[in-house]
Amino acid sequence: MKKTDPIGLRVKVEPFDSQPTYLPVSGTITRRVTAVTGETNWFVFTPDEPIDYQQKVPPGPLNFRRIVCPHILIRSRWAGHEIGDEDPTSVFVLLPPDQALLDHEPIDPKDCLFDAWGMCSNEGRDGAQQAGG
């Protein structure tokens, strides 16, 4: 399993164990961020098109808040597997309800909405597809 620096890497995030309407999505890993809990392998993922998410809010079942995310956070869920490895990895997908949360480090993942786990695979660099990808 070859490791690579994922900054600038094009990846595709597909559904892992649920079917959120915004997945699958392709985009670019734009930067690494550190969490308040010390993890240094959170990444800002910039999808080709912003994710448009409807968050349920109390009190009723039909109350929603629209959240548009031009950037989201992803991090590998599997020990020994990282984003940027040749092999796909399962990732946490966090949607920041306010994009300003990504402006300062360390970030607190708890400030973001956890909506799904995804499966992240490389698409290559500079828009070039990897073999078989």
| Predicted local confidence at residue 133, as pLDDT | 41
Q: What is the pLDDT of residue 55?
A: 87
Burial class (CB in 10 A: 0-12, 13-18, 19+), 123: middle
Whether residue 59 has a cis bond before it, omega within 30° of 0: yes
Q: How many whole angstroms separate alpha carbon 86 and alpha carbon 55? A: 33
Q: Which residues make Cβ contacts (< 8 Å) with residue 35, sequence separation at least 6?
A: 42, 106, 107, 108, 109
Contacts of 2 (CB under 8 A, 6+ apart): 85, 86
Tokens of 32: 């690494």
How distant, in Å, are the alpha carbons of 41, 57, 61, 64 from that of 74? 9, 23, 28, 24
Residue 28: per-residue pLDDT: 97
Structure tokens at 34: 């550190």
Taking only the tens of pLDDT, the chain with its 133 residues reads 456 689 999 999 999 988 888 999 999 999 999 999 999 999 999 999 999 998 888 887 788 889 999 999 999 999 999 998 889 999 999 999 999 999 999 999 999 999 889 999 999 875 444 444 4
Q: Up-side HSE of residue 95: CA atoms within 13 Å toward CB?
A: 21
